A and B are shown apart, each in its own frame.
Chain A
Amino acid sequence: MSYPSEDNLRRWIAFLAALGVGVATYVAIAESGGGSPVCLAGGTGCATVAKSSYSHVAGVNIAIFGVIGYLLLLASAFFANDLVRFGGFLVSLGGFGYSVFLTYIEIFKIEAICQWCVASAVLMTLIFLLNATRLIAYGGNELQEAR
Chain B
Amino acid sequence: MRILNIVESAYRATLEEQDDTVLWLSRALRNAGADLTVLLRGNAVSYAVQQACPTLSLGALTIQHPAQPNDDLAKLRAKGAAVFVVQEDLDDRGIDKQRCVEAAQPVRRAEIATLLEEHDQIWHW
Whether A associates with B in a native complex is: no
